[in-house]
Amino acid sequence: MKRVLSLVALSLSTAVLAQTTTGKVGDLPLAVDLGPKVSMLNDAWIRKAYPRFDGRPDAVFRTEDGRVTMTFQWREAKLAPSEVERLATEYPAVLKSQVPGLKTLKANVMQLNGKNWAQIILTAPGQSDDLRRELLMTSLKGRMLVVTIQSNVKDFARNEAQVRAFTSSLKSLE
């Protein structure tokens, strides 16, 4: 029986792996693994959702239930790889001054596929649940790349496994 269960688990994991594809993130020198639970939104949707050109992300992904979005902005701001750690220590002060009613704020440096990323997670009051924002920032070809993961707290908790699998697969194409 144990062997049968192992074979079933192996075939299920193989089916999931077969459905995962690595795709380029828009025009960015970045790739990510896409499975059936996360999809990339098309340019028309992005233009409609973000009508201001100066604030429009380069790419947007969302979870299967549409409750968590992950936006990518490759900013013109210069950022050297050696400056990523400084972002994690200095940027929280900026957020404290800009986000009214900030409830929680955590910052650290993490590594994804050999690259340092500043990770800043904050929560702020929302209408029915607290809002959650996670900023992942790194240097990509000498410029700042910002990945913003946004949802409310409960929806993030339901989708966290999908989001973590997605973000842990980010690969620089530099």
- The CATH number of the domain holding residue 49 is 3.40.1000.10
Q: Is residue 2 part of a domain?
A: no
Query: How many domains would you assign to the chain?
Result: 1
Higher pLDDT, 70 or 15: 70
Q: Does residue 136 register a pLDDT over 90?
A: yes
The answer to whether residue 136 is domain-embedded is yes
In terms of residue numbers, what domain contains 86? 21-172
- Residue 29 in any domain: the answer is yes
Per-residue pLDDT band at 22 (split at 50, 70, 90): confident
Checking if the pLDDT of 110 tops 50, the result is yes
What are the distances in angstroms from CA 126 to CA 62, 93, 100, 131, 148?
20, 21, 11, 5, 17
Give the pLDDT mean for 66-74.
96
> What's the pLDDT score for residue 52?
81
> Does the residue 14 lie in any domain?
no
Inside any domain, residue 5: no
Whether residue 9 lies inside any domain: the answer is no
Q: Within a domain: residue 1?
A: no
- 122, 136 contact by CB (below 8 A): no
Does a structural domain hold residue 43? yes
Element (H, E) at 85: helix 84-98
pLDDT at 115: 94
Read off the tokens for 32. 């990510």
Q: Say if residues 121 and 110 touch (Cβ distance below 8 Å).
A: no
Q: Of 2-11, 42-51, 73-82, 85-94, give the lowest mean pLDDT range.
A: 2-11
Threshold 0.75, pTM exceeds = yes
